[in-house]
Amino acid sequence: MTIQAKMGHGHTGGVPTVLVINGPNLNLLGTREPEIYGHTTLEDINRELIALGTELAIRVESFQSNSEGALVDRIQQARGNIDLIIINPAAYTHTSIAIRDALSAIEVPVIEVHLSNVYRRESFRHHSTIADVVEARLMGFGAEGYLLALRAAARMIKARAEKREGK
């Protein structure tokens, strides 16, 4: 991990960076099962995250892929360059040991987000392979959950910086 990331400033010259990762089929938000996931598109969510990030003095990067390998690659690239990850692994939540292992390996705090309350859905969605390696989990708030997660991320980054400074 680089000194910058340890100091809570990612690779952006003093501005903390949060990486938002979205898994398979989330590129279809707004049109795929709107009764479950709502009408907000992933582009809308990313735009709102960037605006809130500006308000919170946090740089927001977004990444979406339907490929497990691409998600693992992006998680690994975050090591030393990102202050915190917000992730919605989507269907990979329930199956991907590779994503779990990548998140464990990079030593970056993680918040898990889901648009729907997975416990009000099919039983196979009740298990998360990453639940034990994340700092927090948010679910059931729809697109607002991403904004709540970014606000929590800002507080977590600030608390870590204050702890390092002895405050």
Active site residues: 37, 114
Asked if 107 contacts 131 with a C-beta cutoff of 8 angstroms, the reply is no
Separation CA 107–CA 142 (nearest Å)? 28
Let me know: does 62 contact 46? Beta carbons within 8 Å.
yes
Burial of 122 by CB count in 10 Å (0-12 exposed, 13-18 middle, 19+ buried)?
exposed
Contact between 23 and 103 (Cβ < 8 Å): no
